């Protein structure tokens, strides 16, 4: 290795004086205690320091971090730091971005005294990430004096006892440059939204599992630039919340784990032209999944040849759709199988009936439809989903004879669940046929198997295997001991 540190990976030096001004050591495998006499703190001209994703478990955020008077960007996130956030961080008056996020169990704590100094001194701050930091002793009104330059504020809490408590200042929603705000997980934090002359550049808003009282139509009407809206497990205004609002500009919408208890209105899906992520799981929705309402005619879309394709073309960007754990019933509308960008489809644990339509595109990665009341034959288009990694269709009433060798076409398959249907799986015991060796979980219980599938010999990554409630006769063919050693769940 060269003795000239300016040539080292992750090191940037000033071209004139040759001083180290930037260290980018993200996910570099660094570990151990970062104590106060570390040579890092002798780099007095540092402007940017990224130590995120390393292993400094047991290290405190030392007062010496306050020496970096020229620091603009400081990222200590997810590196195992512990203890109090040092008061000396407030000396970094030129700081534009500060990231102390921790996805662990809130090992970093921010006391009121340090927080007030940070708010008062870091007047150039634009990005502040404190998700997972224990702020239970910080009073919400201390946020009143945050920098008007702030564009991103992340205060997500993973442990409710470590969250903010009390009323969040309405003033924050009026910050002129604030584009991203995450207050999720602060269950004891409440507040209200501005009612007069509210114009905000907010693009990302997450109030999940917080104490805010949500008026969905009002929020979506006022926040004209909103791109990502996450309101999982919230409290809504009124006795029974309704799925109403202007969602036409939103690309990601998460309303999961709310007790709507109503039907999804027909107009809802026709109002989601930009959407690529939709999560309505565990919302107690009832009734049928509606057809898409549209005033458009097929002649307006010359590239489509059917009503279902026309409806699918109105949701061109939809990639993730989560509707599991509701009380939806009736047949699954055909437009859902005509979505050109759909990759993740979760419809399990509902009461759907009828048959599964054929998919018009081959974009699926995960398809979960178990625990419904579906009937009919297995759709052949499943075997054209070349990127499919998870297929879970257990506990329906799908029928027909299915050669197991069909699944050899799915080269990326990791999880396969077909148990408790009326299927008759036929195992072809040939040395020419093997299931994809990517499979780690295989559930074929109650699938009418009459012999042990020889094709299992290739599954070197298999960890879970369920062949119970079949009519398997004969011996279990010899499989390498190494394979059996990896399997931790066998039925």
Residue range of the domain that includes 51: 1-164
| CATH number of the structural domain spanning residue 107 | 3.80.10.10
pTM, rounded to two decimals: 0.91
317 within domain boundaries: no
Last residue of a domain, one of 125, 149, 164: 164
343 within domain boundaries: no
233 within domain boundaries: no
The confidence score (pLDDT) of residue 156 equals: 95
Mean pLDDT value of segment 34-51: 93
Residue 139, number of CB atoms within 10 A of its CB = 15
248 within domain boundaries: no
In this prediction, residue 457 has a pLDDT band, given cuts at 50, 70 and 90, of confident
Last residue of a domain, one of 164, 183, 202: 164
Number of domains in the chain: 2
Which has more confidence, 491 or 51?
51
Q: What is the pLDDT of residues 104-147, one digit of tens each?
A: 755 799 999 999 999 999 999 999 999 999 999 999 999 999 99
Q: What is the pLDDT of residues 213-256, one digit of tens each?
A: 999 999 999 999 999 999 999 999 876 677 888 888 999 999 99
Bridge partner list, 345: 321, 367
Asked if residue 303 has pLDDT above 60, the reply is no
485 within domain boundaries: yes
Asked if residue 304 has pLDDT above 60, the reply is no
59 within domain boundaries: yes
Last residue of a domain, one of 164, 186, 209: 164
314 within domain boundaries: no
216 within domain boundaries: no
């Amino acid at each position: 290795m060269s003795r000239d540190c300016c040539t080292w990976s992750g090191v940037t030096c000033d071209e004139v004086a040759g001083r180290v001004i930037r260290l980018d050591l993200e996910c570099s495998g660094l570990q151990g205690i970062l104590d106060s006499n570390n040579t890092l703190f002798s780099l007095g001209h540092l402007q940017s320091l990224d130590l995120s994703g390393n292993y400094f478990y047991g290290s405190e955020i030392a007062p010496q971090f306050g020496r970096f008077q020229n620091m603009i960007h400081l990222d200590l996130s997810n590196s195992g730091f512990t203890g109090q956030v040092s008061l000396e961080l407030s000396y970094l008056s030129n700081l534009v971005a500060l990231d102390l996020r921790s996805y662990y169990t809130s090992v970093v704590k921010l006391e009121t005294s340090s927080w007030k100094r940070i708010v008062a001194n870091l007047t150039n701050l634009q990005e502040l990430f404190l998700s997972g930091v224990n702020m239970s002793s910080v009073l919400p009104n201390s946020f009143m004096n945050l920098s008007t330059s702030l564009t991103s504020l992340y205060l997500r809490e993973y442990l409710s006892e470590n969250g903010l408590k009390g009323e969040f200042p309405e003033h924050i929603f009026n910050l002129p440059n604030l584009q991203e705000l995450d207050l999720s997980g602060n269950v004891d934090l409440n507040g209200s939204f501005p009612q007069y002359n509210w114009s905000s550049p907010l693009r990302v808003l997450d109030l999940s599992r917080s104490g805010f009282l949500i008026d969905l139509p009002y929020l979506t009407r006022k926040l004209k630039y909103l791109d990502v809206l996450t309101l999982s497990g919230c409290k809504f205004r009124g006795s029974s919340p309704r799925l109403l609002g202007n969602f036409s500009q939103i690309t990601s919408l998460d309303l999961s784990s709310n007790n709507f208890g109503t039907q999804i209105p027909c107009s809802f899906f026709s109002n989601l032209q930009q959407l690529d992520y939709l999560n309505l799981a565990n919302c107690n929705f009832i009734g049928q999944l509606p057809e898409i309402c549209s005033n458009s005619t097929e002649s307006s879309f010359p590239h489509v040849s059917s009503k279902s394709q026309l409806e699918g073309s109105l949701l061109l960007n939809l990639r993730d759709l989560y509707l599991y754990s509701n009380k939806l019933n009736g047949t699954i509308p055909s437009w859902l199988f005509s979505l050109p960008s759909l990759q993740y489809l979760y419809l399990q644990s509902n009461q759907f009936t009828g048959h599964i339509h054929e998919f018009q595109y081959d974009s699926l990665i995960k398809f979960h439809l178990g625990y419904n009341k579906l009937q009919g034959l297995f759709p052949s288009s499943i075997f054209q989903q070349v990127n499919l990694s998870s297929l879970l269709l257990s506990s329906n009433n799908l029928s027909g004879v299915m050669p197991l060798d069909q699944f050899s076409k799915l080269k990326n398959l990791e999880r396969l669940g077909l148990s408790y249907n009326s299927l008759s799986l036929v195992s072809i015991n040939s040395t020419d046929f093997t299931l994809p060796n990517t499979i780690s979980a295989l559930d074929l219980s109650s699938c009418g198997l009459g012999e042990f599938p020889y094709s299992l010999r290739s599954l070197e990554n298999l960890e879970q295997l369920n062949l119970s409630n079949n009519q398997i006769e004969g011996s279990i063919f010899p499989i390498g001991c190494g394979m059996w050693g990896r399997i931790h769940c066998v039925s």
